[in-house]
Amino acid sequence: KGGKCGSPPVIENGDLLSLPMQEYSEGATLEYKCPNLYVLEGSQYITCTDGQWTSPPVCLVACTASEEDMGRNNIELKWLTGRKLYSRSGDVIEFRCKRGYSEDPASSPFRAECVEGTLEYPRCKPA
């Protein structure tokens, strides 16, 4: 009513940078943020316009390359040593076969892109 907006939308995996109120006046602007390693897609700001909030952003989840998943596919990280690798959505991760294994011809690419929390792991077979 009268161009006022109600409570701002809640977004998954993200937070408002201010405490939400019951009512906001026309033109009010709020800011969202995503946790570390999450990627904010869209505008981090929403504005109250004609009694409606503009579209809030989306926080895209990070990918985790774990030792268990890599072990099942006989692969390892190409450039890093470590048990786990966290990467952001849109990042590309390179894998290679573990010693004694070769690339499976039916495998997905060895440069895998993190897409909203999921990685398609390549596969290696015994050499």
For residues 36 and 49, membership in a common domain is answered with yes
Domain that holds residue 56: 15-60
54 plus 67 within the same structural domain: no
Q: How many domains does the chain have?
A: 2
Does residue 121 share a domain with residue 69? yes
- Distances 72 to 76, 84, 88, 121 between C-alpha atoms, Å: 10, 14, 23, 10
Is residue 4 included in any domain, yes or no? no
- 82 and 103 assigned to the same domain: yes
Residue 8 located in a structural domain: no
- What's residue 82's pLDDT? 64
Span 57-62, mean pLDDT?
A: 92
Q: Return the SS3 of 44.
A: coil
Q: Per residue in 61-117, pLDDT tens?
A: 889 888 899 999 999 999 876 667 788 888 999 999 999 999 999 999 999 999 888
d(C-alpha 71, C-alpha 65), whole Å: 11
- Domain boundary (60, 76, 93) is at 60
